[in-house]
């Protein structure tokens, strides 16, 4: 493991992790390791790890290829879907280019229909994700997880034994625990670092290919932050905001910046870069490890589930534990599931948790930065 020199250097290294991974993915391929790309947190990474494959997130975060995507897709579609499809179609995303297999799930309508088009030029394995978390849905999703396991085994000529999947579960749990521990340094008041720097660490860590080294690396950063905090290095005390909603990254980091440029601090991320990724562990001791693995993933509180009972549970816990002063929801334009669900989340925050709540709907342009600043500044001023 590399020595952790000082925190600003670490933040920059993690901020550059995605860019560096563009180069590393080529080296990974040249070493003979297969690469599996995915778009969603419902993808059980353990299958890639157990197969000896590298896994990489393909969700695109810039508007650069949206005009190309709009030649095939409707313009009034979520920017994440358009951007991801555009990067794939134009071969501008090295992760997509080097992926031997792409895994998609039947999450929202836009994504699952987009995967059909993508299947015309790439090997895309589509997992049928149920829309609910009932027992019957769990049994069904387990068959999908096993179907994917078999596909991966055949495609890469490997056998994923129970022993291998248990080892992968153990490693991925260690990574989750290390991410959670790192994120929890933001429970301090005032916080030790800015929310943007914490975001860089969490987001960047999803682009590190050496998964075995990741727990120690993340724990080392958490130790360093705690050490500097104990020595008096910290931010000023500011209104504490939890971000929820659609995935954030790249251009949508403008929302974090709008909070932190207007007097607040983002203490937690209840989304697919933050707690949804690491909060729940797979039960390593379960007799049926495949069922335990399936359950951990199916339980994710995404708005594509109906009803989505697990989202307020996690959000409520974070509001309490991080002593949040307010909740900011970021939704992407035309993301129907999050946009519709926001009414319930608003009521939950205001009525049950007695916390101010604001929803902002945005896209992958920078045209609304001034408007975001105005609305978010007014929101923070209330606290
Ligand atoms: S928000 Fe939902 S659909 Fe999107 S990546 Fe996360 S779990 Fe998947
Ligand atoms: S942000 Fe919403 S519409 Fe876009 S891919 Fe995710 S769930 Fe689908």
Pull the structure tokens for residue 227.
């050490």
What b/e sequence results for 67-102 when a residue is b if at least 16 CB atoms lie within 10 Å of its CB, and e otherwise?
ebbeeebeeebbbbbbbbbbbbbeeebbbbbbbbbb
Q: In angstroms, what is the span from residue 1 Cα to ligand 2's centroid?
A: 36
- Contact 302 CB / ligand 1 (< 6 Å): yes
- Contact 197 CB / ligand 1 (< 6 Å): no
Would the pLDDT of 165 be above 90? yes
pLDDT (average), residues 266-271: 98
- What is the secondary structure of 67-129 as a DSSP string? HHHTTTS-SSS-HHHHHHHHHHHTT--HHHHH-SEEEEE--SHHHHHHHHHHTTTS-EEEE--
- Contact 58 CB / ligand 1 (< 6 Å): no
- Contact 183 CB / ligand 1 (< 6 Å): no
| Cβ neighbours for 312, distance < 8 A, ≥ 6 positions apart | 301, 344, 345, 348, 352
E-strand ranges in 1-40 read 35-38
Distance, in Å, from the CA atom of 151 to the CA atom of 145, rounded to the nearest integer, reads 10
Residue nearest to atom 1 of ligand 1 (CA): 246
| 3-state DSSP assignment of residue 3 | coil
Instruction: Please compute, for residue 113, the number of CA atoms within 13 A of its CA located in the half-sphere on the CB side.
Output: 9
Residue nearest to atom 2 of ligand 1 (CA): 302
- Contact 247 CB / ligand 1 (< 6 Å): yes
Q: What is the pLDDT of residue 1?
A: 45
Q: In angstroms, what is the span from residue 234 Cα to ligand 1's centroid?
A: 33
Residue nearest to atom 8 of ligand 2 (CA): 108
Would the pLDDT of 23 be above 90? no
Burial class (CB in 10 A: 0-12, 13-18, 19+), 35: buried
Band of the pLDDT at 18, cuts 50, 70, 90?
A: confident
Write down the pTM of the prediction: 0.96
| 3-state DSSP assignment of residue 4 | coil
Residue-wise pLDDT tens digits, 277-320: 999 999 999 999 999 999 999 999 999 999 999 999 999 999 99
Average pLDDT for the chain: 95
Whether residue 190 has a cis bond before it, omega within 30° of 0: yes
- Contact 337 CB / ligand 2 (< 6 Å): yes
Band of the pLDDT at 5, cuts 50, 70, 90?
A: low
pLDDT (average), residues 61-84: 95
Query: Which ligand 1 atom is at minimum distance from the Cα of 303?
Result: 2
Pull the structure tokens for residue 45.
């990474």
Band of the pLDDT at 14, cuts 50, 70, 90?
A: confident
Q: How far is CA 113 from CA 30, 77, 147, 291, 351, in A?
A: 32, 11, 20, 28, 37
- Contact 335 CB / ligand 2 (< 6 Å): yes
Q: Give me the architecture of the 7-162 domain, per CATH.
A: 3-Layer(aba) Sandwich (3.40)
Residues 307/154, Cβ–Cβ less than 8 Å: no
Pull the structure tokens for residue 202.
């969490």
CA dihedral sign of residues 124, 103, 81, 58: negative
CA dihedral sign of residues 149, 151, 154, 155: negative
Residue-wise pLDDT tens digits, 205-233: 999 889 999 999 999 999 999 999 999 99
Q: How far is CA 157 from CA 74, 139, 167, in A?
A: 39, 27, 19
Distance, in Å, from the CA atom of 123 to the CA atom of 134, rounded to the nearest integer, reads 30
The counts of H helices and E strands in the chain are: 17, 8
| Cβ neighbours for 13, distance < 8 A, ≥ 6 positions apart | 204
User: The tokens 């050490």 sit on which residue?
Assistant: 227
């Amino acid at each position: 493991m590399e020595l952790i020199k000082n925190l600003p250097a670490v933040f920059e290294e993690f901020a550059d992790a995605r860019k560096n991974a563009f180069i590393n993915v080529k080296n990974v391929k040249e070493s003979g390791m297969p690469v599996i790309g995915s778009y969603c947190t419902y993808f059980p990474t353990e299958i890639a790890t157990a197969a000896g494959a590298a896994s990489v997130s393909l969700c695109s975060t810039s508007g650069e290829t949206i005009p190309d995507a709009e030649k095939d897709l409707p313009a009034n579609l979520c920017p994440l879907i358009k951007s991801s499809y555009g990067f794939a179609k134009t071969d501008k995303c090295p992760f997509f280019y080097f992926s031997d297999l792409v895994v998609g799930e039947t999450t929202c309508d836009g994504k699952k229909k987009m995967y059909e088009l993508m299947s015309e030029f790439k090997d895309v394995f589509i997992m049928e994700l149920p829309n609910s978390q009932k027992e019957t849905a769990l049994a069904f999703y387990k068959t999908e997880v096993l179907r994917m396991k078999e596909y991966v085994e055949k495609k890469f000529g490997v056998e994923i034994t129970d022993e291998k999947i248990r080892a992968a579960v153990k490693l991925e749990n260690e990574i989750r625990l290390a991410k959670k521990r790192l994120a929890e340094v933001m429970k301090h008041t005032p916080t030790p670092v800015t929310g943007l720097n914490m975001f860089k660490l969490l987001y960047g860590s999803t682009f590190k290919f050496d998964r075995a080294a990741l727990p120690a690396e993340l724990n080392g950063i958490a130790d360093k932050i705690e050490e500097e905090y104990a020595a008096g290095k910290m931010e000023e005390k500011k209104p504490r905001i939890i971000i929820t909603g659609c995935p954030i990254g790249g251009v949508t980091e403008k929302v974090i910046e709008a909070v932190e440029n207007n007097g607040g601090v983002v203490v937690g991320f209840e989304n697919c870069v933050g707690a949804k990724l690491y909060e729940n562990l797979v039960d390593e001791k379960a007799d049926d490890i495949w069922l335990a693995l399936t359950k951990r993933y199916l339980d994710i509180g995404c708005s594509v589930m109906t009803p989505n009972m697990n989202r307020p549970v996690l959000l409520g816990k974070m509001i309490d534990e991080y002593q949040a002063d307010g909740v900011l929801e970021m939704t992407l334009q035309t993301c129907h599931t999050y946009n519709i669900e926001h009414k319930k989340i608003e009521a939950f925050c205001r009525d049950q948790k007695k916390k101010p709540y604001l929803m902002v709907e945005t896209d992958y342009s920078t045209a609304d930065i001034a408007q975001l600043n105005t609305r978010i500044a007014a929101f923070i001023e209330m606290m």
